Structure 1
C-alpha cells in the first residue's frame, strides 16, 4: 500500500467523527449553486480506473449512513460485479449488487452513475493514480458522503492471507446513538480467529472505556468480501469488510446500533520512545464537553525520549476559532503496541489520547479523558523545513464537514476535486460540491492562495475562493505529497486533505 494512500486512510478517521456531528448535533450547511444535471463527459482518462476496487464512504441521508463494497472497472467506462454493504443508523445492514458507467476527465476528476438493486446513486471522485481515488456521494436530496476507493489485490482474498497484527480506528454512533470513536489493535491468525486484541472507546453518553480486551472471528470469501464478529467490554459487534490487500481492510458495522466504520491497517512493530523523533502533523474531530462540534489541527515535535515540545494547536470549537496556541506534552508506549499521548495547554484543557501506530508510522488517536470526545490521526513529517516552494503540482482533494448558512437548515457538505499549487503561494483548480440540498459540478477556484511561515514547521494557511463562498483554512504539511486542512470560519467546521496526483 502506497504511503500517500496510508496517509489518506488515517486522515479519514479524523473526518469521520466530524461528519457524525451533522447527524447528531450538527450545524446548518450551505453549498454552491444548484445543479440538477450531471455531465458524464467523454472520459479521456477512463483507463485510469481499470481492475477490481474496494471502496467505503461515511455520511448522511440525513441519518448516519456508512458503506463499503467492491466493483470491477473495465478501463472503458463500464462498472460490473458491484457489491455494497450499507448501514443506515438504527437499521440492520443491507447487501446490494450494482453496475454502472463512469467517465474520468483530463484532470483526474470522474463521475460514476451507479444502478444498485435498491435504486440509483452517483459518485464523484478524483484519481491520484490508477490505484487510489478520493470519493464523495453526489446524490441530490438523498445522500452525501466522503470516502475513498482503492485497487484490490485478489491474491489476498482468503483468511490465511490475513495473518498479522493490525490497528484500527472506527467512528460512528454508540449504543445511545451519540458520538462514538474507538481505536485499538488485534491479531488475525490466518485461520479465522481474532485474538490478543484491545481497544479504547470514547462514547459521548457512556463515557470512556480504556484498554478493553477484545477477541473475535472472521471469514473471507473468494471475492474479497469478509465478515467479522468482535467481542469486547463494549459488547458484541458484527462487521462486513472488504480486502484491499493483506495490509488494508475496509470495515463497516452491520448492527444498526451501534454503527461504526473505518480502516484496519497492518500494525507497526511495537514503538519505543525513540520511535517518535521529529515533527508530527495531526488533525482531530469530535465534540467538546458541552457536546458542541469541535475540530483541531496542529504540529508538534517529539524528542525521542517521551517529551513533546514546540507545538502549535488550532481549534475550531463550534465556530469559535482559537489559533496558534503553544502546546507541549509527553508520550509513552507499552510493549503491546498501545501508547499514551498527553497534550497540555489547549483551549479545552489538558488532553489525553490512546495511540496506535500503523506500519508506516501513521498514528491512530482516540481521546481517553473526559474533556472532550475526539479522535484523529498524527503522521510523522518528512522534508522539513517547509516553505511555499515545498508545495507544487496537481493534487486530489477532499473536504468534509458541516456549515451554517444562517437559515436554520442543517446539512453535511462533501467536496472533492483537483487543486494545483505553483510553489509560489497560488492555488488554482476545480471542485465538485454536494450537500443534501444542492450539488455543483466543476466549480473553478479564483484568487486562491496559501502561505507557509518562515519557521519551517509545516503549519500554514490557505484561502480557497469559489463563486459565492470562501474557505479560510489552516494547513499542516506532512510531506511534499500530502497536506491536512482545518477550516477556521465561524460558520463552518470542516477538515480535509490534498494528495499529489501521480
Structure 2
C-alpha cells in the first residue's frame, strides 16, 4: 500500500524569516523553450456513434488552446467523425474506408507545433450488453446481461493499477471498494463461438460506506478559543457505517485522556466526502473529511472539535502483529505549549526531527537516539546538549502502544499507531508539575532504510511542503496572542554533491505572501542520515537539520531564531508539465488551523486537463461549518510544474499555488488565507 511520506518544506525557515517575491529575469536567461503539443492517448478504438475523450497538454506557453481536425478536415465531418475544441471525438454512424482516421491537435500559440493520434472506427457487435451504462457504488453488485453465449471480463483505463472489482460467469459485477483510474470499469462480453466479437458496457464507480472498511489510525490537530487540541487513535470501520474497536487519545490544556474506548458512525458520499461521529459515552466529536482512496482520507473539524485538520490511514494487517516495532526509525513532530495562563512557556511552538533504534533489549529498548529540537526559535542540538537519548516502548494491542523518549527536552511521552511495520503516526505530550509546562504534538515515524548515507543520498528533483510558527515573545505578552502560522510549498533540485542548484518556493506567513522565489543552497549528510542544509531564497539564508529515512526522503526542522516548524524532502517526477498534468478527480485539502482557529477545507475537485475545475467542498471557518459548497474555477500550469488555481465558492474566491509532485499528488499553498495542503488523485 502506498504511504504518505514525510513531505514538508525545505524553505520553512525562509518562510518564517522573509516572504520576498521571486526576482525578475536577467539578460543572461536562456531563450524560452519551444511550444510543444502532446496528445496523451496515441491510439483509440471507438465503436460507430460512440465518443472518446482525448487528453492533451501544451507546454511552454500561456495559451494552451488547440485547433482539432480529423483526416485534415477542421472539426471533422459525418464521414470520418467529428472532434470538438476539447478533444472529444465522436465516431461516424458508419465505418469509414479506411477504418482508421487521424485526429490532429495544432497549438494556437504556434501553428507549426502539433501532435496526432490514430482512431480505429469499429462496427457494432451483433449483440449488446444491458444495461449499456450503470452507476455502481463501491462494493455493490450490478447484473449485466446479453442474448449471446459469452465470456465476461473487465478492463480499466490505460495506466490503471487499482482493483477493478470482479464479475462472475453469470454477468454479475461486484464493484471495487474505491473508483479506479478514470472512475469507470469497462464490462466486456466476448462471444464464445467467435472470440473476435465482443460487446462492452460501462460501470461508473462511486465511493460508498464500503470504501471505509477495516482498521485505521488517525491524528488530528484542532483549536478553539481555549487553545489547541491534539487527538490520535485507531478504529475499525465495518464498511456499512459503524465504528468499533476504537481507542481515543486527547491532549489539551485541561489535561489528557488516554486510550478511552469509543464507538461511532460514519457516512461516505458518492464523491468521497465523509462525516464521522466519535463518542466515548460522555462527549461526542464530529469530523468531516474526504477519501483519497479506501486506504486514506484527509480530515477537518466540525461541531465540538471546532477548527482543525488531520489524516486517517489504513493499518495494514502486518501492523497488527502483536509486538513492538524493531529497527532504526526517523521521526518528526510539532505542536505547542498549551495556552493555560500559568504555563511559563505559554503558547510557545516546538518542532523536532531525529532518529532512534528500537531493539529487543528489555533494559534499554530505545537507544542511540539523537534529535534536533527547535523550541520557540531556540535550537537544542542532538537531544540533551548533544548527547544521545534513550527510552522504552510497550505494545497495547491493535497495532498501537506507548513510547517514552528520555532527555530530549521536548515531548517525551507518545502513543504510536502502526500503519505498517515501517511507519506509524504519533501523538505526544510533555507535562512538568515542577515547571508548570504542558505541551502537545502530533507527528510520524518511518523506518530508516538504505545507508550509510552521504551527500549523494539527496539527488535529483525533490518536492517540499511545510507548516510552522513564528516565535512567541518572551516573556509571554498580556494579552496573549498565539504563535502566528507559516506555510510554504515548492520544489528543489539537489546535485548529489552537496548543492541545491535550483528550485522555487511560495510562502504565506500570517497573510504575507511570497511567490515563486528562486532557491539555492548547500547541504551535508553524515553516514547515520543526519545532515544540515544552508538554504537561500528571497535574499535570506537559513539553516535546517535533516534526517534521511531513505534516499531523497527526509524529515527536517529549522535551526534559526524567528520560529520553528517541520519540514522534509520527497522525490518528484520530472517535467515538463502543463495543464494536462492535472486531469481527473482529486481529494482536495487546505489546512489553516495550527495554534488558533482558522479556515480548513476538504472536498472533491475535478480538474479537466484543459484549465477548468469544478467540485464540492466542506469549509470550517474558525469553527463555523459549511457543507456541500459548490466550487468552480480555472487553473494554469507552467513547464516547471508550478501553477495557480482560482477557486470560486458562493461566498468567497481563493487563490492557491500548485506544485506538481507526481501523477497522483499536487502540493498546495493557500495565498488567500494562510494554509497549505494537497490534491491527491482519487480517479
Q: TM-score, normalised by structure 1?
A: 0.85
Match of 2:345 among 171, 176, 181: 176
Match of 1:340 among 532, 542, 545: 532
Structure 2: runs of 5 or more not aligned: 16-139, 141-205, 338-343, 432-437, 474-482
The CA RMSD over aligned residues, in Å, is 2.6
Question: SS of the counterpart of 1:479?
Answer: coil
Aligned to 1:231: 406
Match of 2:370 among 198, 207, 210: 198
- Asked if the contact 1:57/1:145 (under 8 Å) is kept, the reply is yes
Aligned to 1:429: 615
Aligned to 2:467: 285
Give the distance between the partners of 2:317 and 2:621, measured in 1 at CA.
35
Check if 1:307 corresponds to 2:499. yes
Provide closer, same or farther for how the CA distance between residues 13 and 85 of structure 1 changes in structure 2, counting only shifts above 3 A. farther
Provide closer, same or farther for how the CA distance between residues 284 and 152 of structure 1 changes in structure 2, counting only shifts above 3 A. closer
Q: Deviations over 1:438-490 (max 9, x none)?
A: 101111112x122111xx3222211111111111121111101111111123x
1:171 shift after superposition: 0.5
- Asked if the contact 1:162/1:190 (under 8 Å) is kept, the reply is no
Provide closer, same or farther for how the CA distance between residues 387 and 81 of structure 1 changes in structure 2, counting only shifts above 3 A. same
Provide closer, same or farther for how the CA distance between residues 147 and 325 of structure 1 changes in structure 2, counting only shifts above 3 A. same
- Asked if the contact 2:334/2:565 (under 8 Å) is kept, the reply is no
- Asked if the contact 2:508/2:675 (under 8 Å) is kept, the reply is no
Aligned to 2:572: 381
Question: SS of the counterpart of 1:47?
Answer: helix
Aligned length: 460
| Greater CA drift, 120-129 or 158-167 | 158-167
Question: SS of the counterpart of 2:449?
Answer: coil
Aligned to 1:88: 252
1:142 shift after superposition: 4.3
- Asked if the contact 2:601/2:620 (under 8 Å) is kept, the reply is yes
- Asked if the contact 2:247/2:260 (under 8 Å) is kept, the reply is yes
The residue correspondences of 1:30-45 to structure 2 (distance < 5 A) are 45=208
Question: SS of the counterpart of 2:240?
Answer: coil
Check if 1:189 corresponds to 2:359. yes
Q: Deviations over 1:292-341 (max 9, x none)?
A: 53322222211111111222222223322222222210111001111112
- Asked if the contact 1:218/1:227 (under 8 Å) is kept, the reply is yes
Q: Deviations over 1:417-441 (max 9, x none)?
A: 1121111122211111113441011
Which of structures 1 and 2 has the bigger CA Rg? Answer: 2
Provide closer, same or farther for how the CA distance between residues 14 and 370 of structure 1 changes in structure 2, counting only shifts above 3 A. closer
Check if 1:52 corresponds to 2:227. no
- Asked if the contact 1:391/1:421 (under 8 Å) is kept, the reply is yes
- Asked if the contact 1:6/1:360 (under 8 Å) is kept, the reply is no
Aligned to 1:120: 284
Give the distance between the partners of 2:207 and 2:291, measured in 1 at CA.
13
Q: Deviations over 1:337-383 (max 9, x none)?
A: 11112111435x21111112234743212101224423223222114
Give the distance between the partners of 1:282 and 1:12, measured in 2 at CA.
4
Provide closer, same or farther for how the CA distance between residues 45 and 191 of structure 1 changes in structure 2, counting only shifts above 3 A. farther
1:158 shift after superposition: 5.1
Give the distance between the partners of 1:92 and 1:464, measured in 2 at CA.
39
Give the distance between the partners of 1:237 and 1:66, measured in 2 at CA.
15
Aligned to 1:452: 637
- Asked if the contact 1:160/1:191 (under 8 Å) is kept, the reply is no
Structure 1: runs of 5 or more not aligned: 19-41, 404-409
Give the distance between the partners of 1:44 and 1:330, measured in 2 at CA.
46
Aligned to 1:27: none
Give the distance between the partners of 2:321 and 2:336, measured in 1 at CA.
30
Match of 2:515 among 323, 333, 343: 323
Check if 1:273 corresponds to 2:455. yes
Give the distance between the partners of 1:440 and 1:402, measured in 2 at CA.
16
Provide closer, same or farther for how the CA distance between residues 143 and 333 of structure 1 changes in structure 2, counting only shifts above 3 A. same
1:235 shift after superposition: 5.7
Match of 2:656 among 473, 481, 484: 473
| Greater CA drift, 69-78 or 308-317 | 308-317
- Asked if the contact 1:286/1:294 (under 8 Å) is kept, the reply is yes
